[in-house]
Structure 1
Amino acid sequence: MKNVPLADVDDVDRAVLPIGTDYPPGHLLDWHEHRRAQFLYGATGVMVVDTGDGTWTVPPERAVLIPSGTRHRVRMLGVSTRSLYIEPDAVPWWPDTCTVVDVPPLLRELLLAAVEFEADYSLAGRDGSVADLLLHEIAARAPLPFHVRVPASADLAAPCREYLAAPDTGVSNAAWAARAHLSERAFTRRFRAETGDSPAVWRGRARLLAAVPLLRSGSVSEVAGRLGYASPAAFTAAFTRTFGVPPSRFTRGHPGHRGRSTVHGPVSDPS
């Protein structure tokens, strides 16, 4: 199924519903939730997934596991998705929070094959076997660290959301503390309790996450300068230390980089 709204097929008696959707650059799927769990794979481009608990940046050739009933929004940056909407009782092992994972070649090819199925595909034979194998492959995936937690408190969450949208190297703990009407020490203590990190460490990670979509069109040197790093080498070292891969892996010139998707026909929001 391609460019089919989930609501049109949600009641079909299949544990796994594959849907492929093409999105124009910058498309925003605003806040919504699904009854089913979702495996959201970006065949091209970058996705940014927000929930009340955090932000997950999904680089090309990665996917995010979204638990059933999780309110979320997704910003699509040149993305063609291949999603699986899965009955929760079919995946009792599904994570409780969003999780970014790698998508190796076998899983990718299974996804590409599955979105060609009809909604009521046969459970016997090839189609049913592909659906079963998809779940086995997803269960074997390990989480990747492309996320930051967002504080639950509104007064702490607001500057974090703003920073994620536009990282500012001039921001200080003192400025954030004053905005929350707290001493710097009290602010840092509260921030660490709600996110697990100090504000400075959090901002450093958020700044690196912001680099992922920028690398779609900019070089490592350009992105390093835009985000305020002293040198491309310093940026590369920080990125690699945090995410386990160099930033060059996500630039347009890299052999593994896939270009922007082409939208085929009208776009339907499957949410």
Structure 2
Amino acid sequence: MKITGHFLSPNRQTEILPFETASRPIVGFARDYPTGLSSGMHSHPRAQLLYATSGVMRVDTQDSSFLVPPTTALFLPASVEHTVKMDGPVAMRALFMLEEVAQRVAKVTKVIAISGLLRELILAVCAEGVEWAREGRGDHLAALVLDEIGKAEPLPLGLRRSTDSRLRQVLEELSKCPYDRRNLEEWADVANTSSRTLARLFRTETGMSFRQWRQQARLAAALSALSTGATPTRAAAIAGFDSVPAFGAAFRGLFGITPGQARGHYFGAHDK
């Protein structure tokens, strides 16, 4: 593990080492973490699939921020620096993968949808231990996991970060309160710049307009809320929508499913 800035505790570094050095192509990592725990910026020599059966993870890389609720997982290539913060108690069930194996199915950081099959495969790999028997169940599970990751649908849950201090202040406040209704001109006052400059910064730094970035941040927060038990009405309020039907239409437009389906997808799988 490579560590920069704030670092993981020595105990956590020690417990992760066997998973970074295992001879198997894929190994499962199962740990429960308390609310607010933050790993600090670090990287691993192996690729990871970060998944939680319950709770929400907020993962920051050098250039993007990702929200990872239980209906999704985050694929991280080997050596990508990142920090993980637990937004509530988190039951992490992650996978460590040899770089050459992981590159067969994915080469960039991305959030993917978790199918019922992939969820069960992750749990099964975690139950196998670090040095699972070769030419048996472990090999079959590893092959299926890789196939499912390769076929998984990528989701728009990554938001690019900014190196500009003016825009970064706005992005951080909007991430904390996505329902904030201030318009571009009001946010420009917060950033101590003009609305034209702020609009330009959104385009050049994030690849989105102000409205697009805010909408995606709002809907990502709504998905997180739905995945942890919120009703569609509550999720709409969290996302800053007055109208539940309007929220439903925007949610389906981004994720391809309704808020009710997103909530039912997690609870239906979790209760099995």
TM-score over 0.5 for the pair: yes
Q: Please report how far the alpha carbon of residue 198 of structure 1 lies from its aligned counterpart in structure 2 after TM superposition.
A: 0.8
2:54 is equivalent to residue 44 of structure 1: yes
Contact 2:52 2:73 (C-alpha < 8 Å) held by counterparts: yes
Matches within 5 A, 1:182-261: 182-215=193-226, 216-251=228-263, 256=268, 258=270
What SS does the corresponding residue of 2:59 show, helix, strand or coil?
strand
What SS does the corresponding residue of 1:224 show, helix, strand or coil?
helix
Q: Please report how far the alpha carbon of residue 23 of structure 1 lies from its aligned counterpart in structure 2 after TM superposition.
A: 2.4
Structure with more of its chain in helix, by fraction: 2
Whole-angstrom distance in 2 between the partners of 1:246 and 1:45: 21
Deviations 1:200-236 (A, max 9, x none): 2211211121222333243222332344322212222
Aligned residues: 257
What SS does the corresponding residue of 2:270 show, helix, strand or coil?
coil
Contact 1:12 1:120 (C-alpha < 8 Å) held by counterparts: yes
What SS does the corresponding residue of 2:44 show, helix, strand or coil?
coil
Kindly provide the amino acid, as one letter, of the partner of residue 162 in structure 1. Answer: E
Kindly provide the amino acid, as one letter, of the partner of residue 69 in structure 2. Answer: P
CA RMSD of aligned residues (A): 2.6
Deviations 1:33-87 (A, max 9, x none): 2121101122223322222322222232321101222222223334322211112
Identity %: 33
1:60 paired residue number: 70
Kindly provide the amino acid, as one letter, of the partner of residue 48 in structure 2. Answer: Q
1:139 to 144, 150, 163: 150
Contact 1:211 1:223 (C-alpha < 8 Å) held by counterparts: yes
Say if 1:5 and 1:187 are closer, same or farther in 2 by CA, change over 3 A.
same
Structure 1, unpaired ranges of 5+: 260-271
Moved more, 242-251 or 3-12: 3-12
Structure 2, unpaired ranges of 5+: 1-11
What SS does the corresponding residue of 2:41 show, helix, strand or coil?
strand
Kindly provide the amino acid, as one letter, of the partner of residue 258 in structure 2. Answer: P
Contact 1:64 1:99 (C-alpha < 8 Å) held by counterparts: yes
Say if 1:182 and 1:16 are closer, same or farther in 2 by CA, change over 3 A.
same
Matches within 5 A, 1:119-138: 119-138=130-149
Contact 2:66 2:159 (C-alpha < 8 Å) held by counterparts: yes
Taking structure 2 as the reference length, the TM-score comes to 0.82
Moved more, 214-223 or 186-195: 214-223
Q: Please report how far the alpha carbon of residue 164 of structure 1 lies from its aligned counterpart in structure 2 after TM superposition.
A: 0.6
Whole-angstrom distance in 2 between the partners of 1:226 and 1:135: 35
